Amino acid sequence: MLGSYEKFKESIFELTSIDLNSYKERQMKRRIDSLITKHGIESYRSYVEILKKEKPIYNEFINYITINVSEFYRNPEQWQVLEKDILPYLFDNFGKDIKIWSAACSTGDEPYSLVMLLSKFMPLNRIKVLATDIDRLVIEKAKIGVYNDKSLKGLPTEFIKKYFKQIDEKSYQISEDIISCVEFKHHDLLKDPYPANCDLIVCRNVLIYFTDEAKNRIYKNFHDALKDDGILFVGSTEQMLGASKLGFESLRSFFYMKSNSPEENY
């Protein structure tokens, strides 16, 4: 037995400000327990002491619990809807200089995909995407912009040819012209202030790891961060239940428009 998981969660909050109570407990505890076992550590208490003293172990822990899985143009059919329907709608309503936030951006695949797609509509020097994540390590990796061939499997060939340079058999470097269009920042969806007046927020395949209470709190914050009639783009496993009560209406599958005020106490 590793000891009290409740006390461990309290210690992690004191150490990292990450509230593990907001994550689905069975999934998160299983991940953490396997990590502790891998290192041959006998208790949660011992693990916390090691996290305080050893930066590489601490970084590994943060990277592990924040669940970074990403790829370019994940679910390509949804990116086609974004290109054919959603972006023209946004341009018609807000003009070409739209404010886009890629929330929980992981290793940068998503915001860079957004920049490449936007380049079909306007020059790169007019494009700026805000990209945030709780994990500082993946943000640094995103800024470097090196990806393996598996990450690029869903990306249109035209983008690979135009914006990537192959550096070895399985690795590609994304163009500095694309990197320069993205502003990366550290951000915790559960406790940090949200950017304001967004036209489009993209947050995909992240909220499935949160409890329903935390999820609804995040949706309400996204609602407040969007302009009226702005769009929230979610992942293929994240259909929003009770969208109207949260102040949204479904525009297309996985695309929700801010439509009214969230109901109190929902």
- CATH number of the domain bearing residue 93: 3.40.50.150
For residue 264, what pLDDT band results from cuts at 50, 70 and 90?
low
Gap between the terminal Cα atoms of the chain: 38
User: What digits encode the pLDDT tens for the residues 186-225?
Assistant: 999 999 999 999 999 999 988 888 888 999 999 999 999 9
Residue 84 lies in a domain: yes
Tokens in use for 120?
Answer: 């079909």
Q: Which position has the higher pLDDT, 146 or 231?
A: 231
Residue 171 lies in a domain: yes
pLDDT attached to residue 119:
97
Residue 131 lies in a domain: yes
Of the candidates 32, 65, 98, which is a domain's last residue?
65
pLDDT attached to residue 157:
95
Residue 229 lies in a domain: yes
Residue 264 lies in a domain: no
Q: Which residues contact 55 (CB under 8 A, 6 or more apart)?
A: none
User: What digits encode the pLDDT tens for the residues 20-66?
Assistant: 887 778 888 888 898 898 889 989 999 999 999 988 888 778 767 76
Q: Name the helix (H) or strand (E) containing 102.
A: strand 100-102
- Regarding whether 89 and 57 lie in a shared domain, the answer is no
- Its domain, for residue 27, covers 5-65
Instruction: Judge whether residue 127 has pLDDT over 60.
Output: yes
pLDDT attached to residue 68:
55
Residue 47 lies in a domain: yes
- Regarding whether 115 and 228 lie in a shared domain, the answer is yes
- Coil, strand, or helix at residue 193? coil
Residue 14 lies in a domain: yes
- Coil, strand, or helix at residue 149? helix
Of the candidates 20, 37, 65, which is a domain's last residue?
65
Is pTM, for the whole model, over 0.75?
Answer: yes
pLDDT mean across residues, the chain: 90
Of the candidates 17, 42, 65, which is a domain's last residue?
65
Domain total in the chain: 2
Q: How many CA atoms lie within 13 A of 17 on its CB side?
A: 8
Residue 70 lies in a domain: no
- Regarding whether 202 and 92 lie in a shared domain, the answer is yes
Q: Name the helix (H) or strand (E) containing 251.
A: strand 248-252
Note every long-range contact of 121-128, with CB atoms under 8 Å and residues 24 or more positions apart, other chains counting: 121/87, 121/91, 121/96, 122/96, 124/177, 124/178, 124/180, 124/181, 126/96, 126/97, 127/181, 128/100, 128/181, 128/182, 128/183
Distance, in Å, from the CA atom of 183 to the CA atom of 171, rounded to the nearest integer, reads 23
